[in-house]
Structure 1
Amino acid sequence: MFDNLTERLGKTLKNLQGQGRLTEKNIKESLRDVRMAFLEADVALPVAKAFIERVQERAIGQEVIGSLTPGQALIRVVRDELIALMGESEELNLRAVPPVVILMAGLQGAGKTTTVAKLARWLNERQKKKVMVVSCDIYRPAAIQQLERLANDVDALFFPSDVSQKPVDIAQAAIAQARKQGAEVLLIDTAGRLHVDEQMMGEIKALHAAVKPTETLFVVDSMTGQDAANTAKAFNDALPLTGVVLTKTDGDARGGAALSVRYITGKPIKFIGAGEKTAALEPFYPDRIASRIIGQGDVLSLIEEVERKVDKDQAEKLVSKLKKGGKGFDLEDFRDQLVQMRNMGGIASMMDKLPGMGQIPVNVKSQVNDKEFIRMEAIINSMTPQERRFPLLVKGSRKDRIAKGSGTQIQDVNRLLKQFTQMQKMMKTLAKKGGMMGMLKGLKGKLPPGMQF
């Protein structure tokens, strides 16, 4: 979402760091480039203007110009102001008498129903809450069926509703049923509506008044840029929102919504969704996002993701084989690593969180995708268990059979086997040089800034 902004901002800050000393003149010139980067990212004009004024005020003061390391001091100022712009992270308020009612509102097509399922899964897995979901969308029968299917997928209780019922009656009946079944949280999905539609806005106001939700979350498509923030403000004027959920952040979003919402609405972004999968929902941490924007990565989120999604038994087996210089490492292990990487969102998702990635041009990063890894996984799956354990057996007619079975070419099979051989060699090198940390120390000075050890 922030690739273009990160690239532009990274170049500007790098140029400033290369200056012999920072002056009021070169700071102002560089901040003009930052302002253009913000506007290109579809950040609202008042937001961009306020941000530049704050950075300039602090940068021209002794905080930066008087610093012994002015370039680093300026980066710290930019990061601090990005965090201030997006506000502090705020958790869901779950400290109410069960069932805690969370009402979801937003425009049609913003992804509310999918977000309800994602949030149900997040509450279930991360907060260990028993969740019930209900649809009050009486205008789109498919919405009720969609939510029922998703509820089964995420192991949430589902309260049935019908288009012949009134939204208020559905919600009140769902609350009563949630109490009976011991549900700790009730998520209410509502119909998409425009803030200018008085009848529909009157309906959700009545629904809000009847159920008195602890949280009222506005679900908004981040690809609408600064319009997302303006729409959220219009809804907030009519409905007391407690937070915002940004969806489709993995698409062509340029970051304008994330940087504008808090300033324009005064409401915090509580979650961001990236992708259609029900696991693709994460709490919004302004400090981590700010670090990613200025190219410092988000290692903390990456570590949390590894701890949550990586199979610890498989990881321990791999470490054991690494220590032995790759002895016993076969194509089944290789495939397991590809699956683990896919479970973590793929290589592109991991790259976004690594320090120094902001220095890689967007057009280069766009060439890194997970299609090659999916192809490699398909090739390994087309092999027999014996071939996976003993890759040297894969020759001649076996390659032809594996290629046909995986829908690939013989060249693809050859490439995979070559990459596997290279990985085995790397493991032997790692074992000789004292493991991963030893290898990284050997690369000292060759890694980009922010990735030195």
Structure 2
Amino acid sequence: MAFESLSEKLQNVFKNLRGKGRLTEADVKAALKEVKIALLEADVNFKVVKNFVKSVQERAIGQDVMNGLNPGQMVIKIVNEELVSLMGSETTEIALMPGNQVTVIMMIGLQGAGKTTTAAKIAGKLKMKGRQPLLVACDIYRPAAIKQLEVNGEKQGVEVFSMGTNHSPVDIAKAAIEHAKNNGQNVVILDTAGRLQIDESMMQELVDVKEAAGVTQTLLVVDAMTGQEAVNVATTFNDRIGVDGVILTKLDGDTRGGAALSIRQVTGKPILYIGMGEKLSDLEQFYPDRMASRILGMGDVMSLIEKVEAQVDAEKAKEMEQKLRKASFDLNDYLDQMEQMKSMGGLSKIMEMLPGMGMNLNAKNMPDMDESEKQMEKIQAIIRSMTMKERTNPDIINASRKNRIAKGAGVDVVEVNRLLKQFDQSRKLMKQMPGMMGKQAKKGRFKLPF
């Protein structure tokens, strides 16, 4: 998880400030020295760290505890506000042309940053917003990139325009825009070629494409795992090509997060999206306030709610609620719930977004989280090895059926027995719930939620 180490260190700094009646200059300076070290270790740009610490110090020194906040909370509040300011304060959208005018987006970046996949992810996002995107294969040097774009475009239900490798990127871009105009497509996304490092021929090609295609938005894709180098790359591309926004990829990996905290301040360009995984749905809008909350271990409930709304079928949820009330849910429902959790990124992703939980997902207890994920996969395999009749009515599963199911799932019969026992206990608990809640309601302890 990105920022894991930084979050842990910042939380330790805040713990040491608790219990003080007033923040003295010495208290603040000592704490901010630790904050400075933590930010530098997270690969945040040195000048950015210097200015950040200075701003926090000026605001924190001498401030009394306000509105019942203790000094530790006061510092967290100030650090949170400064982090939000550091990353841009406001959420920035891709600027699209109004109506049916064609918006031309050029994707640029080094090879390996995830540009081609990100182009398809953005096409999917724009399609969901009612736009008609067209993906364009302008990387004529890597046939694999063209194929990758075509495969991802098909998954997203978005047309891919390609002229192979025998035409120049400029000609392909111009032909694609004409094609879009003739076919009612109002967003053209150009997937350009990258290199392993910045060179003159790549830069000149991008300049030529941008000029010839009348590009309206130039989006730079950078690999967050490269840390400070991502900021250097962003600066060079912006100086030479001109960048309208940045997309950070691989922020779900083992990255220290310095790029996310430095890019806006160093380049003046906003981060538009962050890539949080390999799936085409793993692209999140970048919200500076939500990212600051994640860094400080406060969770990100709003993003979690949006994930749930996007992934959970409303009709299915209503149907499940009725089944839970009547205790009539079966193993198919069990499987559906796990599939929905998996589509939201799995248990660890969900836990990261809960207040206070992201901080607890460190190296010490991640093995337990991994074990839980593996257990879920095992349960899914067992249920999938059952017939539809067995899933609907688990009571018919006798010894011979258990042996067949265990063999099909590649597990021991003990695992099948454990699942059936857990399911039976859950079902019994659900049957008791309405009565238990009714008794509590009569005592005035709480009102029934339905």
The TM-score, its normalising length taken from structure 2, stands at 0.91
Partner of 1:113: 116
Partner of 1:372: 375
After TM superposition, the structure 1 stretch with the greater mean CA deviation from structure 2, 38-47 or 231-240, is 38-47
Partner of 1:387: 390
Q: Distance in 2 between matches of 1:366 and 1:255?
A: 22
Q: Distance in 2 between matches of 1:374 and 1:249?
A: 25
Partner of 1:4: 5
Using the TM superposition, give the Cα deviation of residue 188 of structure 1 relative to its aligned residue in structure 2, in angstroms.
0.1
Question: Between Structure 1 and Structure 2, how many residues are aligned?
Answer: 436
Partner of 1:154: 156
Residues 14 and 299 from structure 1, CA distance in 2 versus in 1: closer, same or farther, beyond 3 angstroms?
A: same
Cα displacement string for residues 391-438 of structure 1 (whole angstroms, at most 9, x for unaligned residues): 233342222211111122223223322432443355356535549x99
- 1:181-330 matches, cutoff 5 A: 181-193=183-195, 196-324=198-326, 327-330=327-330
Alignment check: 8 A CA contact 1:351 1:357 kept: yes
Alignment check: 8 A CA contact 2:123 2:133 kept: yes
Partner of 2:448: none
Query: Aligned pair 1:424/2:427, yes or no?
Result: yes
Alignment check: 8 A CA contact 1:135 1:188 kept: yes
Partner of 2:337: 337
Using the TM superposition, give the Cα deviation of residue 137 of structure 1 relative to its aligned residue in structure 2, in angstroms.
0.7
Alignment check: 8 A CA contact 2:23 2:62 kept: no
Q: Distance in 1 between matches of 2:14 and 2:265?
A: 24
Q: Distance in 1 between matches of 2:11 and 2:423?
A: 35
Alignment check: 8 A CA contact 2:112 2:196 kept: no
Using the TM superposition, give the Cα deviation of residue 358 of structure 1 relative to its aligned residue in structure 2, in angstroms.
3.6
Amino acid of the residue matched to residue 185 of structure 1?
Answer: V
Partner of 1:15: 16
Amino acid of the residue matched to residue 282 of structure 1?
Answer: E
Q: Distance in 1 between matches of 2:144 and 2:125?
A: 24
Q: Distance in 1 between matches of 2:59 and 2:296?
A: 17
Q: Distance in 1 between matches of 2:429 and 2:248?
A: 41
After TM superposition, the structure 1 stretch with the greater mean CA deviation from structure 2, 391-400 or 370-379, is 391-400
Using the TM superposition, give the Cα deviation of residue 93 of structure 1 relative to its aligned residue in structure 2, in angstroms.
0.5
Q: Distance in 2 between matches of 1:279 and 1:106?
A: 21
Residues 398 and 272 from structure 1, CA distance in 2 versus in 1: closer, same or farther, beyond 3 angstroms?
A: same
Q: Distance in 1 between matches of 2:268 and 2:405?
A: 57
Using the TM superposition, give the Cα deviation of residue 282 of structure 1 relative to its aligned residue in structure 2, in angstroms.
1.3
After TM superposition, the structure 1 stretch with the greater mean CA deviation from structure 2, 129-138 or 357-366, is 357-366
Q: % of aligned pairs identical? A: 50
Give RMSD over aligned pairs. 2.3
Q: Distance in 2 between matches of 1:5 and 1:332?
A: 41
Query: Aligned pair 1:100/2:95, yes or no?
Result: no
Residues 414 and 3 from structure 1, CA distance in 2 versus in 1: closer, same or farther, beyond 3 angstroms?
A: farther
Query: Aligned pair 1:45/2:43, yes or no?
Result: no
Partner of 2:351: 351
Q: Distance in 1 between matches of 2:201 and 2:23?
A: 57
Query: Aligned pair 1:401/2:399, yes or no?
Result: no
Tell me, what secondary structure is at the counterpart of 2:17? helix
Amino acid of the residue matched to residue 412 of structure 1?
Answer: E
Using the TM superposition, give the Cα deviation of residue 347 of structure 1 relative to its aligned residue in structure 2, in angstroms.
0.9
Amino acid of the residue matched to residue 198 of structure 1?
Answer: E
Partner of 2:134: 132
Tell me, what secondary structure is at the counterpart of 2:422? helix
Q: Which runs of 5+ in 1 are unaligned?
A: 443-453
Cα displacement string for residues 311-334 of structure 1 (whole angstroms, at most 9, x for unaligned residues): 11221122123334xx11221111
Q: Distance in 2 between matches of 1:186 and 1:21?
A: 57
Residues 361 and 343 from structure 1, CA distance in 2 versus in 1: closer, same or farther, beyond 3 angstroms?
A: closer
Alignment check: 8 A CA contact 1:23 1:65 kept: no
Tell me, what secondary structure is at the counterpart of 2:369? coil
Residues 170 and 74 from structure 1, CA distance in 2 versus in 1: closer, same or farther, beyond 3 angstroms?
A: same
Tell me, what secondary structure is at the counterpart of 2:368? coil
Amino acid of the residue matched to residue 334 of structure 1?
Answer: Y
Tell me, what secondary structure is at the counterpart of 1:282? strand
Cα displacement string for residues 256-293 of structure 1 (whole angstroms, at most 9, x for unaligned residues): 11111111111110011122211111110111111111
Q: Distance in 1 between matches of 2:435 and 2:57?
A: 51
Q: Which runs of 5+ in 2 are unaligned?
A: 446-450
Amino acid of the residue matched to residue 416 of structure 1?
Answer: L
Using the TM superposition, give the Cα deviation of residue 336 of structure 1 relative to its aligned residue in structure 2, in angstroms.
0.9
Alignment check: 8 A CA contact 2:24 2:62 kept: no
Amino acid of the residue matched to residue 406 of structure 2?
Answer: A
Tell me, what secondary structure is at the counterpart of 1:341? helix
Cα displacement string for residues 163-209 of structure 1 (whole angstroms, at most 9, x for unaligned residues): 11111111001111110001010000000136641122111111111
Using the TM superposition, give the Cα deviation of residue 21 of structure 1 relative to its aligned residue in structure 2, in angstroms.
3.9
Alignment check: 8 A CA contact 1:100 1:184 kept: yes
Using the TM superposition, give the Cα deviation of residue 112 of structure 1 relative to its aligned residue in structure 2, in angstroms.
0.6
Residues 61 and 98 from structure 1, CA distance in 2 versus in 1: closer, same or farther, beyond 3 angstroms?
A: farther
Amino acid of the residue matched to residue 271 of structure 1?
Answer: Y
